[in-house]
């Protein structure tokens, strides 16, 4: 396969360009269908004239349907796209990138989706879809408890969740309290959305993300809080994001003193309420109710979902903790990490 692709790149480069263009159209349709031609052209930064020609071809091949509500993939289109994804990993050399990233970060598994979510928001949905696929492969035969954090990347995972008989018995839990940000990006909301879409069950953690020492000590003594914390810590799957330190501190409305400290000590990453510098050392911890780093050691499947070239340093720094075994990211972040060798 690799040799054939190398030959094609040299002899018929236009063929691969056309393949990549049609792959991009099908991939975007899967995420955003039904969608009109003008919206699709704008999203893909393609002229309507070029797109019109591609749509005609894909329709004649029985891969898409065009209706008043917009364009959608046919069953044949879905099947072909699934097969094409493996081919495109070879075309874009993503398989080699996955292996290189796995070795550099010391991870068990790495999954890279094409594109950069900093440039195209729909790439984040592709990461979400990939995470759902991986999560289903990690399910126990029965008794699954899945803990999730907040953030836009994990919200994309919830958006891509679909009903599944294997998840009907699953319990979804928030890995932490609220962050005081947009409600759709909070762990409680994401947890409930995942459970509803998967047809599973859920419980919520009604506590703020940041607490004073006195409030923390009081709340952890509450029986209902102790009960849900025990369930969260016994989860067999944890899905979490990795944030930029400064961005996360500002979203938490942190004090100017903390912002200055993070800047002085070169904080680059945040996860689970911990801030890390480039070497992976913890430089600050938010007092929060939920999963702590030490709680992750006994959890068999920990999946980090984070992408975008701007997150490269954050992902690399956090992974030095060796707390997660699986990373779902995008091409932008992967290239940034590997170029930083």
pLDDT tens for residues 29-74? 998 899 999 999 988 888 989 999 999 999 999 999 999 999 999 9
Chain-centroid distance, C-alpha 55: 29
**Strand ranges for the chain from DSSP E:** 64-67, 70-73, 109-113, 145-148, 171-174, 201-202, 237-240, 243-244, 267-271, 274-277, 282-285, 301-305, 326-330
List where CATH 3.40.50.1360 sits in the chain. 93-339
127-152 burial: b if 16+ Cβ within 10 Å, else e: bbbbbbebbeebbeeeebbbbbbbbb
Which phi and psi angles does 64 have, rounded to 5°?
Answer: -135, 160
Say if residues 29 and 77 touch (Cβ distance below 8 Å): yes
**Token duo for residue 65:** 């349907």
Q: What one-character DSSP code corresponds to residue 160?
A: H
**What distance in Å separates the CA atoms of residue 159 and residue 184, rounded to the nearest whole number?**
11
Give, for 227, the enclosing helix (H) or strand (E).
helix 223-233
d(CA 16, CA 18): 5
Share of the chain above pLDDT 70, in %: 92
What CATH class has 2-90?
A: mainly alpha
Torsions phi, psi of 237, nearest 5? Answer: -140, 130
The CATH classification number of 93-339 equals 3.40.50.1360
User: Which is more confidently placed, 328 or 9?
Assistant: 328
What residues does CATH 1.10.10.10 cover in the chain?
A: 2-90
Cis status, amide bond into 34, omega within 30 of 0:
yes
CA atoms within 13 A on the CB side of 193: 19
Q: What does the alpha-carbon distance between residue 114 and residue 238 come to, in Å, rounded to a whole number?
A: 24
6 pLDDT band, cuts 50/70/90, is low
Q: What is the mean pLDDT of the chain?
A: 89
Residues facing residue 237 across a β-bridge: 146, 301
Element of type H or E holding 136: helix 122-137
pTM of the predicted model as reported, rounded to 2 decimal places? 0.88
- What is the bridge-based pairing of β-strands 267-271 and 274-277? antiparallel
Token pair for 44:
């893909």
Beta bridge partners of 72: 65
Query: Tens digits of per-residue pLDDT, 244-284?
Result: 999 999 888 888 999 999 999 999 999 998 999 999 999 99
**Does the pLDDT value for residue 143 go beyond 70?**
yes
């Amino acid at each position: 396969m690799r040799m054939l692709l190398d030959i094609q790149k040299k002899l018929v480069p236009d063929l691969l360009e056309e393949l990549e263009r049609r792959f991009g159209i099908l991939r975007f349709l899967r995420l955003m269908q039904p969608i009109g031609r003008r919206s699709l052209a704008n999203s893909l930064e393609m002229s309507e004239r070029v797109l019109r020609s591609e749509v005609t071809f894909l329709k004649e091949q029985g891969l898409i349907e065009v209706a008043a509500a917009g364009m959608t993939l046919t069953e044949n289109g879905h099947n072909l796209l699934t097969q094409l994804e493996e081919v495109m990993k070879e075309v874009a050399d993503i398989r080699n990138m996955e292996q290189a990233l796995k070795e550099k970060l010391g991870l068990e598994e790495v999954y890279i989706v094409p594109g950069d979510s900093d440039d195209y928001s729909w790439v984040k949905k592709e990461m979400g879809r990939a995470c759902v696929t991986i999560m289903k492969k990690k399910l126990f035969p029965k008794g699954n408890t899945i803990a999730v954090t907040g953030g836009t990347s994990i919200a994309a995972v919830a958006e891509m969740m679909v009903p599944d008989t294997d998840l009907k018995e699953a319990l979804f839990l928030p890995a932490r309290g609220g962050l005081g940000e947009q409600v759709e990006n909070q762990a409680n909301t994401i947890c409930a959305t995942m459970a509803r879409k998967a047809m599973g069950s859920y419980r919520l953690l009604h506590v703020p993300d940041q607490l004073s020492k006195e409030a923390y000590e009081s709340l952890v003594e509450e029986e209902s809080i102790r009960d849900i914390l025990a369930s969260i810590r016994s989860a067999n799957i944890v899905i979490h994001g990795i944030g930029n330190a400064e961005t996360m501190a500002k979203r938490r409305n942190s004090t100017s003193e903390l912002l200055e400290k993070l800047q002085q000590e070169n904080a680059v990453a945040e996860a689970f309420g911990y801030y890390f510098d480039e070497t992976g050392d913890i430089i600050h911890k938010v007092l929060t109710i939920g999963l702590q780093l030490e709680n992750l050691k006994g959890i068999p499947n920990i999946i980090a979902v984070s992408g975008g070239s701007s997150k490269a340093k954050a992902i690399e720094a956090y992974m030095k903790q060796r707390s997660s075994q699986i990373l779902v990211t995008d091409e932008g972040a992967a290239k940034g990490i590997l170029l930083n060798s």
